[in-house]
Structure 1
Amino acid sequence: MRDITDVPTSEFAPRSKHLKIEQQIVLVTGGARGLGESIVRALHREGARVAVNYLGSQSSAERLQSELGSRVCTVQADVTDPAAVGQMVSQIEAQFGSPVTSVINNALVSFTFNGDDRPRLDTITLQHFEQQARGAVGGALNTIQATLPGMRSARFGRIVNVGTNLFQNPVVPYHDYTAAKAGLLSLTRTAAHELGPDGITVNMVSGGLLRTTDASAATPDFVFDLIARNTPLQSVTTPEEFADAVLFFLSPWSRAVTGQNLVVDGGLVKD
C-alpha cells in the first residue's frame, strides 16, 4: 500500500481556490437593516463587493448604498420566490461583471422576538411553522440553487446561514422560528457534504438575542440584563460582534471548515 504522500494530487478532487474577502462578491439577504446591515458594513470594511437584498426596506437599502458607495448594490427580491431570486442573482452578476461567490442567508420572514406575544402550543398552527420554514429553509435553498452554477464554475463558494442558539437553549419557546432554524442547520450540513467536492463550504453562525436589532427591539431590558448575567463575558452580543464572526467563514482561515455551526452568544450556550 502506498503512503498517502506518494499519491499524485490528481487522484483526489482538484484543489479549490481560496479567495480573500476583498476578492469576493457577497450577497446578503435581508441586508438593508438590523443584523443584515451590520454584516454588510463588516464586509464592505474588509473590501468585498456586496449585494444588499431587501424586500420592503427600499429606503434603508438605498441609504446604505449611497453611504458605502460603488462596491455596494441593492437588489429587491422575495427570497421565498425562486424566480425572483434567480433574477436577483443575474442582476448582481450584471452589476459587478462576475458571478456571486458568497451568500449570507440572513433574511427573516415576519417575526418579532417578543416572548409575551408569541403563539403558544395551544394556539400555534402548522401555518406558523410553514411560514418560517419557507423563509429560513426555502430562502436559503433558493439562493444556493441560483448561485451554484457560478460557484461551481469558479470552484469556489462560501455559504453562511444565520441560525439561533434557541434549539440548544430554548429559554423562550419560539416553536415555529426555532424549528425552522433547526431545519436550516440540517440543510447546512447536508449541503456541505454535497458541495464540498466543488470547493464550496457551507456553515452556520448562530446567535442568541442580539442587542439590538429591529427584531429584538420589543424585548424588555430585564431580559437583556438576565442574559448578560448568565454569560461568561457578562454582556449581550451585538450585531457588529456577530457580523465579525460571519467574516471568519468567508476568509481563507476557514478553508478547511464546512458543515459547522458556530454559536456566537458570549458563551451562554456550549454546543
Structure 2
Amino acid sequence: MITPNEIATLAEHLDGAQRDCADVLSLAETIDFDIDDAYAIQSALLARRVQRGERAIGLKLGFTSRAKMAQMGVTDVIVGRLTDAMRIADGGPVELSRFIHPKIEPEVAYRLCRDIDIDEQLVDIESCVDAMAPALEIIDSRFRDFRFTYTDVVADNTSAAAFVIGPWQPLRAVPNSAVRLIAGDAEVIGSTAAILGDPIRALHALLDMCRRRRIPLRAGQVILAGAATAAIPLTPGVAECEITGLGTVAVTAKGV
C-alpha cells in the first residue's frame, strides 16, 4: 500500500497529463502499488474533476473481452468513472486537440432508473435499468504509446476520455448482435457477444465490482458495458457505429 500523500501526488500527475495533453511514463515503472491503491488514485482523480465543477454521471467497464483479460493476465473486469465533461452529443463535434492519442470503440450503454443499494444481496440490477442505446467511447490512455500495467490503467480511470450515446430504447436482449464501426479509413466488425458473452452480463459484473470498491450506483447514471470490437484510431471526420437491433451513433472529430 502507498500513502495518502502518494495517492494524491499520483492523481495530480495523471490529471495534469490529461489536462495538458502530454503523455507520461507508466506509474509502475517508478512506484510499487497494488489494485487497491489504483482505485484510490482513480477516486482522487474523480474528486479533482468534481472540484473543477464536473458532475459524475456514470460508469464504464473495461476488460470485458476474454482476449483482453488474457492479454493483461487478469480475470476481473475494471471500472472507470464518467463525468458530464466527457459526454458528446450524438453526431456532435469533438476537437482532437483535447486528446493525446485517441482511439474509439463501439459500446452498448444502459441507463439506471433507480438508486441501487449495493449491500442488498438480492437486488436485481436488470430491473433497475430502463433503457439502452448504441454508444461510442473515446479512450485516451495518458501513458506513452498506450503502454501500461493493470494497475496503471485502473489508476488512469481506465483510459476514459469521452463518450457518445445514441437514441435511448427500451431494454431488450442483444446477446449476439452484429456491430460495425467506421472511423476514417478504418473499419471493424464484431458482435455484442464480445462483451462477456452478452452485454447484459456487464451489469452484473458492474454490481459486483461496485460492491467490492464501494462505488455508488444512482438513478440516471449511464453505464458503458465494454467494447464490442478492438479500438481503432480516431481521426478527423465522422466515426459511426451501427449495432443490429439498436441503431446507430456517431461523432464528428475535428482538427489534426
TM-score by length of 1: 0.27
Give 1 or 2 for the bigger CA radius of gyration.
1
Select the structure with the greater relative contact order (CA < 8 A; seq sep ≥ 6): 2
Question: Larger helix proportion, structure 1 or 2?
Answer: 1
TM-score normalised to structure 2 length: 0.28
